[in-house]
Structure 1
């Protein structure tokens, strides 16, 4: 029901989303080790969201009858210079993921895979939100470089 080319890219994207889960889990751990609990909680939630994205793709692939394997994910070492570098790593990841979904959308259209293209629309919209959110966190840290004080924005839901 979906093109083989898109299926392969979605199969890889499952691993990419699980890798993002590990990245955000590592960022959450780093913030927790700095006793920045609100930041840690935020990234724990982001990690869970990435796992949910992987599962959404898995369910779709199963639903359309695409046979696939789960790809490997690499270890993450949660070491960051400061809060800004941790959030920059998250933004860079989101930008990479956006590129991956754009590539999949192009492949779907090229192959006239309208079912796959429709499925990807949710992810493309989600990526707009995710990139904007990470940029907003960087903006908050630029205005309030002390991450402990910037946590107040997270407490008030200003993210």
Structure 2
């Protein structure tokens, strides 16, 4: 039988974050499919890759609970948004989503600190660093999309050259392990 420490506010918020991460993963699949439907393979590939990354984040949290002998609750998610006016809509949605996730991660880190959960606070440090990177990347993509003024060939070339280009191993040795391993 798994030992159950008392449920803290931090643990409840962290369980909620599993849902947020799976929701983000599903939303990124919808964005990738939108771009695939528009014959924009580089943008599609980028958002499909982001989906896997968000899934891995959820599984990192699952592994954290397993490592702490806390039972894991896997929640359902909402229907992702899939219709957009034009090519800029998915990027705008992705930026809002990453900004919201950043607020959630900051709240988690603050709650862990406020509750004196030093293990939880340490666990959140990697996620804080990750969110800075995620918001910066999608902000750059939004800026380039605006500057392209509808020239999707230029936008696709930028994504292929700067975002989807292999940059060696992106494995972060400081990243928490994901339950079942990263995809």
Q: Choose between structure 1 and 2: higher helix proportion.
A: 1
Please name the residue that 2:158 is paired with: 153
What are the ranges of 5 or more consecutive residues in structure 1 without an aligned counterpart?
A: none
- Whether 1:43 and 2:63 are equivalent positions in the alignment is no
Alpha-carbon separation, structure 2, partners of 1:9 and 1:104: 7
Using the alignment, how far apart are the partners of 1:103 and 1:2 within structure 2?
20
User: What stretches of structure 1 move > 6 A for 4+ residues in a row?
Assistant: none
Q: Report deviation, 1:40.
A: 0.2
For residues 70 and 43 of structure 1, do their structure 2 counterparts lie closer, same or farther at Cα, with a shift above 3 Å needed?
Answer: same
Residue 149 (structure 1) shift = 2.0
Distance (whole Å) between structure 1 residues aligned to residue 118 and residue 6 of structure 2: 8
**Residue 71 (structure 1) aligns with:** 75
TM-score normalised over the length of structure 2:
0.83
Counterpart residue number, 1:92: 96
CA RMSD after TM alignment: 1.5
Looking at structure 1, the residues matched to 70 and 163 of structure 2 have their Cα atoms a distance apart, in angstroms, of 41
Provide the secondary structure at the position in 2 that maps to 1:80. Answer: coil
Contact 1:2 1:113 in 2 (8 A): no
Give the gaps of 5 or more residues in structure 2: 165-183
TM-score, length-scaled by structure 1: 0.95
- Structure-1 separation of matches of 2:48 and 2:6: 33
2: CA distance between counterparts of 1:140 and 1:77? 23
Matched position secondary structure for 1:156: helix
Q: Give the secondary-structure state (helix, strand or coil) at the position aligned to 2:162.
A: coil
How many positions carry a matched residue from both structures?
A: 159
Distance in 1 separating the partners of 2:74 and 2:97: 20
